[in-house]
Amino acid sequence: MSLELGPKGLLVFEDYAKANTSSSHHAQRKGIPVPQRPTLQPQEPGSATSSSVTVYWKVNPGDIIDCFQVYCMEDPHGAVSEEYRVTVKESYCALEELEPDKTYKVWVMAVNYTGCSLPSERLAFRTAPSVPVIDTERCTVMWDSATLRWTSAKQTPEESYTLEYCRQYELEGEGLRSISGIKSCDQKVLLQPNENYLFYIKAVNEAGASEQSEAALISTKGTRFHLLKASAHPALELSVDQTTLHYSRDALENTPSTGEQCPSILGELLQTHGYYYWETIVSGSTAYRLGVTYSTANRNSPLGENSLSWCLQCIPTPSGCRYQLLHSDVQSSVFVIEIPERVGTLLDYQLGRLSFYNAQSGQLLGTFWQRFTQPCHPALALEMPGSLEVSMVLEVPEFTKDS
């Protein structure tokens, strides 16, 4: 029931007095006592939504009551606030069009032809939090899991979240799973590979739960990860969306030497299940390394120059570029038909291989056959000023299956 701005007087009683002026009605009503004050019931936990609260009250069994007048006022901690009211016949009502995560003072009066009761005790009623928003750009999707991230307009210590999800084409109401009691704005969920899922998030406080957020489509058909800012060399600048790496000439000249010959950065850890494919836009750089590394590798040792990292290296030459595979400082030359602008990387734990492709032409640039015994980080390094951008694709290209 929507609220309307209410006057300070008891106009309901006046309305009844004007409407019922016939002598027969007056005689029938004569001698009816004014109702006793109703007893407002405390708010039931979990009963509110983001925009409404439900109010219940009890009355004296002997009272004759025509209607109830329910008042509501935002609890402003001492500030001046407008008073709103609704008129109902039942001994309960839903107050709607309220603000999320706010406290309201509510009281009720019983009304009959004779007059209005005294107001009930004023009790505090609180609305549920506002609806959170899933930030799909910040969600991380792996082969068999996803980390969902969302934002909340006003996060309080007592607030928690409920994450709900199902397969995209599940029958309505079937297969819906939920994780409740989440205290932070992120949650990792184990999923099946090569599936599409719909995710929803709700915010919860003692008063109740918000409405579901809009659905976020998450697919495990591809690989998606962020570059880890904490792992970046001081000379490297990472974009806000954590996908683009930049190495400027100023950084080259002004950053103190740390012994690392090519500044690098790591991506989020890829668990040892199935396979992962991602692409890197390399058109902004002429000297780079792309590959994977174990967490235990020495970061002061350049990518590919130790036994715990593997990479494709692009080296500028007077005639263009040459390419080589690099592992344990052992070089293997790579024949390139055309210089790639986008390099695809396929890490297949099951088959034990790490392959690099020209993502435009589909040419296989080179492959490491390696039984990976630990989870790997994607790794990018720039040996000269330039930029690299990690690009995620939903489907693994067909050309990777032919190599």
Q: Could you read off the pLDDT tens digit of each residue along the chain, which spans 403 residues?
A: 555 555 443 444 444 444 554 555 554 556 789 999 999 999 999 999 999 999 999 999 999 999 999 999 988 754 546 778 899 999 999 999 999 999 999 999 999 988 999 999 999 999 999 999 999 888 888 767 889 999 998 888 889 999 999 998 876 656 889 999 999 999 999 988 778 899 999 999 999 999 999 999 998 877 778 899 999 999 999 998 888 999 988 877 676 655 556 899 999 888 887 888 999 999 999 999 999 999 999 988 999 999 999 999 999 988 888 999 999 989 898 888 889 999 999 999 999 999 999 999 999 999 999 999 999 999 999 999 999 999 878 778 899 987 6
What's 382's domain CATH number?
2.60.120.920
Helix (H, G, I), strand (E, B), or coil: what is residue 253?
Answer: helix
Indicate the pairing of strand 275-281 with strand 386-391: antiparallel
Provide the CA 140 distance to its chain's centre, in angstroms.
Answer: 11
Residue 30 DSSP symbol: T
Question: Alpha-carbon distance 392 to 222, whole Å?
Answer: 7
Classify residue 113: in a domain, yes or no: yes
Containing H/E element for 165?
Answer: strand 160-167
- In this structure, the answer to whether residues 370 and 324 fall within a common structural domain is yes
Q: Hey, how many other C-beta atoms are within 10 angstroms of the C-beta on 134?
A: 22
pLDDT digit string, tens, across residues 311-322:
999 999 888 889
Specify whether the CB–CB gap between 223 and 345 falls below 8 A: no
- In this structure, the answer to whether residues 263 and 369 fall within a common structural domain is yes
What's 43's domain CATH number?
2.60.40.10
Q: Which of 78, 97, 126 is the last residue of a domain?
A: 126
Question: Alpha-carbon distance 77 to 300, whole Å?
Answer: 57
pTM: 0.59
Question: Alpha-carbon distance 402 to 185, whole Å?
Answer: 41
Amino acid at 181: G
Domain count, the chain: 3
Helix (H, G, I), strand (E, B), or coil: what is residue 328?
Answer: coil
Classify residue 301: in a domain, yes or no: yes
Q: How many CA atoms lie within 13 A of 220 on its CB side?
A: 23
Classify residue 224: in a domain, yes or no: no
- In this structure, the answer to whether residues 234 and 329 fall within a common structural domain is yes
Specify whether the CB–CB gap between 152 and 176 falls below 8 A: no
Q: Which of 126, 155, 178 is the last residue of a domain?
A: 126
